[in-house]
Amino acid sequence: MSTSADISQAASVTVGIAALSIDEVVAVARRDAAVVLDEAALVEVERSRAIIDALAEDPEPHYGISTGFGALATTFIAADRRAQLQASLVRSHAAGSGAEVEREVVRALMLLRLSTLMTGRTGVRRVTVETYAAILNAGITPIVREYGSLGCSGDLAPLSHCALVAMGEGEVRAADGRLLAAGDALSAAGISPLKLGEKEGLALINGTDGMLGMLALAIDDLRMLLTTADVSAAMSVEGLLGTQAVFAPELHRLRPQVGQAVSAANLYALLAGSPIVASHKGPECTRVQDAYSLRCAPQVHGAARDTVDHAASVADRELASAVDNPVLTLDGRVESNGNFHGAPVAYVLDFLAIAVADVASMSERRTDRFLDQARSHGLPPFLAHEVGVDSGLMIAQYTAAGIVSELKRLAVPASVDSIPSSAMQEDHVSMGWAAARKLRRSIDGLTRVLAIEVMTAARGLDLRAPLVPGAATGAVVGLVRTVVDGPGQDRFLSPEIEAIVELVASGAVVTAANTAVTLVR
């Protein structure tokens, strides 16, 4: 079995009837792994298309094949108008507005739509799946706009923008980032534009692929960021002269929460052998208990880990789904259904935003303790070089506090809202796309809050000299010092924060700690 790291660096990902993994989605979306279509699945695609072709010749109407859509589902469409019907559906539904959605998100949603098409449950032609794979492999990214999806009947507008590009219309970003007309980009890549057949327009736009793609990317981010939070918490415990004892395995076996045990083990390992921790273990230390933001880090980080695991289980089931309406059943029937409703995905996207806000909130509290002379156990106020003349890291904490305040607002669930659409035919929607969009902003905020804690803790640890930190935390301090100078007179802080944000976002902080200990991600 391939490890996560193996898959993430994979040169190619095979798309067939079997479900994709989260790591495979990330590999294509973020690392441009090539898409390979499974030959056995292509045979099933062709078999299911034959069923659609037969139904297209039936004088009885069949939804999405010989009828209109949504509130117009009872309107019969003559055979000579059906190609126009499918093209018109895509053009009219490509109605997004706002800023461009990130490249990795568009690649993820295109891959996931392709994955559903390859199940043979949608009835598209072989040339259609081959075209989607070719667009992905050419690095062509359709322009998808921020607003347009209600998360029910699928992510209609985002997916329509992608289908429009497959038809040779709309706008794209080339592999080098240039903005091009879709027709020109396809021509340059040797890809012929699609002329959609019966049902294909509907099959290309009716899925939860946008919100699911963002969920997969968020899970990948959070697995790294929650380990980073363990590292930054260990640095803070050490720098604030806290104890390692509360992270002992026997204490956490008394409350057998899975994520908690993982985070506690990480913290215990990170602090093992620390000269700073050892320096205040003797009877002369009168402190009884550390503050909650130090002592309870495994409980909060662990609860967030368990939330990510729950979200991953929902994502895995959704990745194994064939979301389309109507859908071809295994015995060859074409049936209407409601599997396009995004509630399962929307709920966990909102749940993750809650966990993100809480982890960031605890991180900010640890940062604040370093700056308060009354609580930092001997460190200078605000970790300033010359107190009164220098402000030290005072305003870095303001930045973290401002982000945490926004994260609390972003934790308000999107999935409890619903606005009816399509003449009340679609009278309850999931708002899962909105939940995914705000989670992406939340993850960016968590990254920045953790970076500020790492920066603050690194300065605090330096100020404990001549005592030195443990091997793992010391490795992180060493990494930080490759991009940011140590304690000294006040200087322009914003570039330093951004440099450490990059270290956190890239996973370099975890990698540095892993040179001394083995952390569980």
**148 Cβ partners below 8 Å, 6+ apart?**
95, 96, 97, 156, 157, 158, 433
Whole-structure pTM value: 0.94
Residue 57 has pLDDT above 90, yes or no: no
Task: Name the residue ranges covered by the structural domains of the chain.
Answer: 4-207, 215-321+351-513
Residue 521 has pLDDT above 90, yes or no: no
Residue 46 has pLDDT above 70, yes or no: yes
Confidence band, pLDDT 50/70/90 cuts, at residue 9: low
pLDDT digits (tens, 9 = 90+) for 102-143: 999 999 999 999 999 999 999 999 999 999 999 999 999 999
* Cβ 352 vs Cβ 439: under 8 Å: yes
Q: How far apart are CA 156 and CA 58, in angstroms?
A: 28
Could you tell me the fold of the domain covering 215-321+351-513?
Answer: Fumarase C; Chain A, domain 2 (1.20.200)
3-class DSSP assignment, residue 141: strand
pLDDT computed for residue 8 by the predictor = 47
Q: Alpha carbon of 408 to those of 122, 309, 310, 358, 361: distances in Å?
A: 40, 22, 21, 8, 9
* Cβ 453 vs Cβ 367: under 8 Å: yes
pLDDT digits (tens, 9 = 90+) for 355-396: 999 999 999 999 999 999 999 999 999 999 999 999 999 999
Q: Alpha carbon of 224 to those of 227, 294, 308, 395, 509: distances in Å?
A: 5, 20, 11, 27, 10
The whole-number average pLDDT for the span 332-358 is: 94
Supply angle C-alpha 515, 519, 521, rounded to 5: 125
**388 Cβ partners below 8 Å, 6+ apart?**
none
Confidence band, pLDDT 50/70/90 cuts, at residue 1: very low
Highest mean pLDDT of the ranges 16-30, 275-289, 423-437:
16-30
Lowest mean pLDDT among 2-16, 19-33, 285-299: 2-16
Confidence band, pLDDT 50/70/90 cuts, at residue 503: very high
Q: How far apart are CA 510 and CA 504, in angstroms?
A: 8
Question: What share of the chain in percent tops pLDDT 90?
Answer: 84
Residue 497 has pLDDT above 80, yes or no: yes
Q: How far apart are CA 240 and CA 457, in angstroms?
A: 9
Confidence band, pLDDT 50/70/90 cuts, at residue 228: very high
Q: Is 268 a known active-site residue?
A: no
What CATH superfamily classification does 4-207 receive? Fumarase/aspartase (N-terminal domain) (1.10.275.10)
Terminal C-alpha separation, the chain: 18
- Decide which of 82 and 133 is more confident: 133
Give the strand pairing for 327-328 and 34-37. Answer: unpaired
pLDDT computed for residue 100 by the predictor = 98
Residue 218 has pLDDT above 80, yes or no: yes
How many whole angstroms from its chain centre is CA 80?
43
Confidence band, pLDDT 50/70/90 cuts, at residue 82: confident
* Cβ 380 vs Cβ 374: under 8 Å: no
The whole-number average pLDDT for the span 482-491 is: 97
The residue to which tokens 């606005």 are assigned: 419
- Decide which of 370 and 11 is more confident: 370
Question: For the chain, what percentages of helix, strand and coil (3-state, to nearest 5) are there?
Answer: 55, 5, 35
pLDDT computed for residue 2 by the predictor = 36
DSSP letter at 387 equals: B
* Cβ 399 vs Cβ 462: under 8 Å: no
**164 Cβ partners below 8 Å, 6+ apart?**
90, 91, 94, 142, 170, 182
Determine if the peptide bond prior to 326 is cis (ω within 30°).
yes
Helices (H) and strands (E) in the chain, counts: 21, 9
Average pLDDT taken over every residue of the chain: 94
- Amino acid symbol at 438: K
- Decide which of 187 and 424 is more confident: 187
pLDDT computed for residue 62 by the predictor = 79
* Cβ 144 vs Cβ 158: under 8 Å: yes
Question: What share of the chain in percent tops pLDDT 70?
Answer: 96
Q: How far apart are CA 33 and CA 499, in angstroms?
A: 28
Angle at which helices 103-117 and 22-31 pack, to 10 degrees? 130
